[in-house]
Amino acid sequence: MVSSSLELQTFKSGISHQHHLHGFGFVPSIKESSVQLVRWSPPVSGLVLHVDGASKGNPGFCGGGGCIRDSSGNLLFAFAHFYGVGDSLMAEVHAMCDGIRLASDYGFPLKTIYSDSMTLPPAPAARASPKLQAPLPILAMAATSKPLATAAAAVVVLVAAALLLAPADASTLTVFTGPGCSGKTKDVNYVCGCYDISYYQGGYHFVFTEGQKAYLHTSYNCGDAQPYPLYKEYRYCYHTGFKSVLMVC
């Protein structure tokens, strides 16, 4: 019976290529993949701002965005902006700044701010500003995952750095909160580059120093073929149909 059973065994295929490789001492290496569970823990109370920024190249085209959630995880507000040419650190700071500004404009009282940046959070604690490739054209705030009171202290560090690095003759954009250039004003000092001004809703005018000019664009990334030029001491009121401005030194 045993002999009869062995005679019936036949091999339908020869040795495989993998066995050939194994015979010559080539052993395939298989990388083990592990599953990571990512979980978002909602705050006990209050609103939380999540921000992130990235660049395609260093420097390269960069952008950022964020969202605001409540303690139940409900999405209350979200935003995304293109910041022109810069590095990932500049995009992170821009996104943080935009998130805080928009939260203030829309009346969202923030309690906590979250960011995945490994460079920005240590800056406030060390009383030092991160090394940026260029001065920030708008209000800068460090990213932090601690309560907003800690984040507020970071304003002093990064705003001071921006003011020290910015040239003394930088052009100034005056922002108005009311229609027709009325209401409260805010001065924003710019350096060379393309900047998003789409979130200003009340109009604005520019004050330039000698040798500087700018171009207003209706697109978000300063891509208009025929932008509107501005020169020294332009103090006319411009409406917010323009979404970006290219500052030229």
Domain ranges of the chain: 47-165, 171-248
pLDDT band per the 50, 70, 90 thresholds, residue 35: confident
Cα-flanking dihedrals φ and ψ of residue 78, to 5°? -145, 150
For residue 168, the model assigns a pLDDT of 40
| Run of H or E residues at 78 | strand 75-86
Q: What is the mean pLDDT of residues 27-40?
A: 74
Share the mean pLDDT of the chain. Answer: 68
Question: What is the Cα–Cα distance from 220 to 223, expressed in whole angstroms?
Answer: 7
Q: What is the CA radius of gyration of the chain?
A: 28
Q: Looking at the predicted structure, is the pLDDT value of residue 93 above 70?
A: yes
107 vs 181, residue with greater confidence? 107
Mean pLDDT over 156-183 rounds to 52
What percentage of the chain exceeds 70 in pLDDT? 51
Cα–Cα distance for residue pair 73/179, rounded to 1 Å:
35
Contact 181, 237 (CB under 8 A): yes
171-248 has which CATH code? 2.60.20.30
Mean of pLDDT values over 136-165: 39
Q: Within a 10 A sphere around the Cβ of 9, how many other Cβ atoms? A: 6
- What mean pLDDT comes out for the span 124-143? 42
Question: Topology of domain 47-165, per CATH?
Answer: Nucleotidyltransferase; domain 5 (3.30.420)
Question: Over 70: is that where the pLDDT of 183 sits?
Answer: no
Is the Cβ–Cβ distance between 80 and 65 less than 8 Å?
yes
Q: Are the C-beta atoms of 62 and 86 separated by less than 8 Å?
A: yes
- Distance CA(24)–CA(208), nearest Å, equals 75
